[in-house]
Amino acid sequence: MRLRIVHHTHYRYAPSVVMAQHLAHLRPLVLPDQVVTAHHVTIEPEPAHVSQSEDAFGNQRCFFSLQSPHEALSVLSDCEVETSAPQLLPESPPWEDVRDDLTYRAGAPYDPASEFTFASPFAPRSPVLADFARPVFEPGEPLLDCAQALMSRIHTEMTYEGGSTGVNTPTLAALAQRKGVCQDFAHIMIGCLRSLGLPTRYVSGYLLTHPPEGQPRMIGADASHAWVQVYCPVGVDSTEQTGGVWVDFDPTNNRSGWGRPGEDYVTLAVGRDFGDVSPLRGVIQGGSSHQLTVAVTVAPPEELVEADLFCSRTATPSTRPARLKPAQPNVFGSKQSNTDRR
């Protein structure tokens, strides 16, 4: 599936920001079943410095600094991606075997996935989370069957309600009130699995949505999305572990798959939790108050040829037809073969 993703973040500050440093995770990952065919980011005002690097989890990140006063910041990411349909879930060993194999023992082979069994700032380990998960983790049951059941339980018992939580709402609070957004659903599932000693990581990305029948697509009305990946060892014998795979589960939509929950998903970045992969974060001097607006559009490329994706510096949704404006000079990115929260 070919998808175009336009992600526009706009800050307006009062008073002006004197200087700022920002870190962005806005370039989708290159994966065996995901090819990034084009990507560029436009930043206004023009940064004094821009650099790109790979973080500890293999994500592409961009650092940029602004060293002159500015009243607004606009970051526009525009990319095209080709995705493949996911594979069926592989067979998996009993969940207790996975837990035991990844528990530290002197002299045991090291598996990097074990690092995702520990608590992180947004995904704690807790007896409350373990108790929520335990009813679907029957003794001797395959790991991925249990993860699927946990995903379905979260999807059934939690209510998706925008604005019911904030970016810093504790995971246990979201679980207690039984409502939240995709970030909360993902953190709850991660916390449940880690509380049982099972490696799980956070995935930031996008999901293609569809407008009501007979209605035009609202440009800028989508949002970034979040789901989880569960580590499943494969090729394990009595003496050595030879590796494993990460399998995707989306508790918000109750969808799963090996590679991605569906071909309509785009994987942006992976990490321990939202804090590792926030699309845009930074440190500023000045700007004691600010207004943030975010607009995301995910659609087949042919639907966006005439769409007004640059329609507003306040990043509000629009359906006005207009031809795309040319990219501004302060653009970085490439073509290759290879603080949004809703």
The answer on pLDDT for 331 being more than 80 is: no
pLDDT at 235: 55
What does the alpha-carbon distance between residue 276 and residue 288 come to, in Å, rounded to a whole number? 25
Note whether 2-84+278-334 and 95-276 share their fold.
Answer: no
Q: Where are the domains of the chain?
A: 2-84+278-334, 95-276
Once rounded to an integer, what is the mean pLDDT over residues 311-330?
Answer: 34
Tokens of 156: 């059934």
Tokens of 206: 């996008």
Q: Which of 112-126, 209-223, 236-250 has the highest mean pLDDT?
A: 112-126
Once rounded to an integer, what is the mean pLDDT over residues 64-93?
Answer: 96
Q: What is the pLDDT of residues 262-301, one digit of tens each?
A: 999 999 999 999 999 999 999 999 999 999 999 999 999 9
pLDDT at 341: 46
Q: Considering only 78-82, 97-101, 211-215, 261-265, which range has the smallest mean pLDDT?
A: 211-215
Tokens of 99: 């837990």
Q: What is the pLDDT of residues 98-148, one digit of tens each?
A: 999 999 888 888 899 999 999 999 999 999 999 999 999 999 999 999 999
Q: Specify the pTM.
A: 0.87
pLDDT at 159: 97
Q: What are residue 229's DSSP bridge partners?
A: 201, 248
Once rounded to an integer, what is the mean pLDDT over residues 298-315?
Answer: 64
DSSP state of 316: -
Q: How many helices (H) and strands (E) does the chain have?
A: 6, 15
Tokens of 122: 């947004």
**φ, ψ dihedrals at 195, nearest 5°:** -65, -20
What does the alpha-carbon distance between residue 229 and residue 190 come to, in Å, rounded to a whole number? 9
pLDDT at 107: 85
How far apart, in Å, are the Cα atoms of 15 and each of 21, 262, 312?
17, 44, 22
Q: What is the DSSP string of 7-65?
A: EEEEEEEEEEEEEEEEEE--SPPPBTTEEEEEEEEEEESPPSEEEEEE-TTS-EEEEEE
CATH 3.10.620.30 matches 95-276: yes
- For residue 9, give the amino acid letter: T
The answer on pLDDT for 258 being more than 60 is: yes
The answer on pLDDT for 338 being more than 70 is: no
Single out the residue of 254, 247, 59, 260 nearest to residue 150, CA to CA. Answer: 254
pLDDT at 210: 86
What does the alpha-carbon distance between residue 101 and residue 110 come to, in Å, rounded to a whole number? 10
Once rounded to an integer, what is the mean pLDDT over residues 205-227?
Answer: 87
The answer on pLDDT for 74 being more than 70 is: yes
Q: Is 266 exposed, middle or buried (0-12, 13-18, 19+ CB in 10 A)?
A: buried
CATH architecture of 2-84+278-334: Sandwich (2.60)
pLDDT at 321: 29
